[in-house]
A and B are shown apart, each in its own frame.
Chain A
Amino acid sequence: MKKVMVHPERCVGCMQCMAACATAHSQTKCLLTAIAETPLPKPRVHVGAGLYGEGFPNRCRHCDPAPCLLACLPGAISRHRDTDTVIINPDICINCASCAMACPFGVIRYHQDMTAAPGKTVAVKCDNCMARQRAGLNPACVEICKSGALTFEEPAAGLKRKTDEVARSVSVCAEGLPSAPGFALLNAVKKAQAGLSKM
């Protein structure tokens, strides 16, 4: 089963995944019209800034066992076995924020959503774009990501690639060569800038 994988070292912080995610979870599925919808569609992936302004597309890891699922008071959170996705049922959710305490990654947000009853604030998070996957599409955040920070692949293949990268990096000739050179440079610049602005 393919899964979304995050490669933080490649994130440039462009936030396109956020816009794509919000659009994918809108009624009209088109950015131009989505921004006029009520409730306003919101992203399930959040690009947070690190200590030096480096980006990181933070999204639900669909943990197993999932702390949010275990902590949910009304039993609104369940696992969809076919896609290995942790989902929140907006009809059962009581907006108690117990899942906010449970999530070690801070990926859950609370707002109105087109999937919930009008006017009802509910817990919202990544659903692995199940609707898009059913239609044969990749998750929206992956589709839009140009830098390779988000990929949709078999976990085994992704792991193999990472292992190979590590293996290459320990060879003597490759010494000092980062696995994603351009991105490492970008982040080094950001770090230096953050350092300068503090002086």
Chain B
Amino acid sequence: MNYVIVGNGVAGISAAEAIRQLDPGGRLTMIAAETFPPYCRPMISLLLEGAVTPEKLPIRPPSFYEQLQIQPILGDSVVSLDVPNRMMHTRQGRTVAFDRLLIATGADPNPIPAMKPGMKNVFFMRTEVQVRQMLDVLPQVRQALVLGGGLVGFKAAYALLHRGLQATMLIRSDYPLAMQVDDQAGKMILKELVGHGLEVKVGVDVTGFDGVEKVTRAHLSDGTDLPCDLVIVSKGVSPALSFVSGDQIKVNQGIVVDEYLATTAAGIFAAGDVAEARDITRGTCRINAIWPEAVDQGRLAGMNMAGRRVAYRGSLGRNVIRIFDLDVMTGGLVHPPAEPAYEVHSALDLRRRTYRKLVFHQDRLVGIIMVNAIDQGGILLSLIRSRMPLAIPREQMLSPAFNYRTLLR
């Protein structure tokens, strides 16, 4: 069997390991644009923060490819996929044939119209290279600007604050992480960040940048200007699938996969941030672009590629973030539709600074938001994943004393 994996992110490497476990003799090739050893992408914000050095990023040894007998093609990218002839073409002119293919190309940051080629010190934060470039210019930076209040924007701002830099964050919603949290938690997060010196402007966007070579000033949609010498653009990501033709493989937002991580083209699989699988709480296809899903999907895709049929139970959006003295965990449907079948229970304790919100759909838990006291959150998330009908009183689940024993008869 001739396996090819595109992308050496965590989905790609998890798949490679699963394939090797089941098929020690098959031919396995990995094509990847990044040349750095397989690394922990979320940790690049710690690199920006100065909490870790680049040597701490890899999650597999440099001998990874050799140990698993993988033929690596690094620093090259796939530019076209020929489904009927089962081959791919790369930027450097290689032609790579496959029997079974995994597309694990992740996602690319969304550009904004104000970005101009050649304008220095305007960055995305997706790869270790991008953060290293930021670190190179950081000593000259006085005023940083972060565009977007999603997970990456938040992490960028947090890292800059830790460095003691002046940072301003522009967000469209009223508080950061609006996709992940509700009003109450969002306000607690905003307060914590502002309390630590972050300047947040809500409801504004950037319309243009000034600067001869380097950026010096941003023009905002409210007509004002803001001096800045570093900009981090974090306005979401889009699946990296430009080489995939929608006529040959079904693509919605991401590449649509079934419960075996198979695409609509025979022998071609997808996993990770590029894949759109069934979402457990919604019942429809959706990209949940998070690390643990990339691991799960990669592993299962690898098993299925190697011939072991293992079904994926679907994805669940979830996040945990530590913001100075605030811990926030969220998962599933936190903004439920206004239908009678959904029931929301919440408890706020301002003195202890805890907040907990549970969203139920009939007798099942489908969403959680927790601020502080997050230790037991995994139990709640596993109840969402298992879709277990719940008979215990709902106030018990809101209590900070909630623990595994509470669930036992």
Q: Determine how close the nearest CB of chain A comes to the CB of B403; give it in whole angstroms.
A: 3
Q: Are B292 and A74 in contact (CB under 8 A)?
A: no
- Which residues in chain A, 14-37, are within 8 Å of chain B measured between CB atoms? none
A118 at the interface (CB under 8 A from B): no
Interface hub of B40, B42, B51, B404 (most chain A Cβ within 10 A): B404
Q: Which residues of B contact A113 (CB under 8 A)?
A: none
CA distance A163 to B281 in the complex (A): 37
- Which residues in chain A, 69-117, are within 8 Å of chain B measured between CB atoms? 70-71, 73-75, 92, 94-106, 108-110
Q: Which residues of B contact A96 (CB under 8 A)?
A: 42, 320, 322
Stretch of A53-61, A140-148, A165-173, A178-186 lying at the B interface: A53-61
Q: Are A54 and B405 in contact (CB under 8 A)?
A: yes
A49 at the interface (CB under 8 A from B): yes
CA distance A46 to B401 in the complex (A): 12
- Which residues in chain A, 111-130, are within 8 Å of chain B measured between CB atoms? none
Q: Which residues of B contact A108 (CB under 8 A)?
A: 375, 378
Q: Are A51 and B292 in contact (CB under 8 A)?
A: no
Q: Are A71 and B295 in contact (CB under 8 A)?
A: yes
Q: Which residues of A contact B379 (CB under 8 A)?
A: 103-106
CA distance A46 to B404 in the complex (A): 10
CA distance A57 to B230 in the complex (A): 52
CA distance A187 to B393 in the complex (A): 19
Q: Are A48 and B59 in contact (CB under 8 A)?
A: no
Q: Which residues of B contact A71 (CB under 8 A)?
A: 291-292, 295
Known: A71-B292, A101-B292. A48 touches B405 (CB 8 A): yes
B: contact size bracket: 35 or more
Known: A70-B295, A108-B375. A97 touches B405 (CB 8 A): no
A: contact size bracket: 20 to 34
Q: Are B376 and A106 in contact (CB under 8 A)?
A: yes
- Which residues in chain A, 145-166, are within 8 Å of chain B measured between CB atoms? none
Q: Determine how close the nearest CB of chain A comes to the CB of B45; give it in whole angstroms.
A: 10
Q: Which residues of A contact B319 (CB under 8 A)?
A: 101
A136 at the interface (CB under 8 A from B): no
Q: Which residues of A contact B318 (CB under 8 A)?
A: 101
Q: Are B320 and A58 in contact (CB under 8 A)?
A: no
Question: Can you list 14 A-B pairs, Cβ within 8 angstroms, ordered by A?
Answer: A46-B403, A50-B405, A50-B408, A51-B396, A54-B405, A71-B295, A73-B42, A73-B291, A94-B51, A97-B322, A99-B378, A101-B292, A103-B379, A105-B379
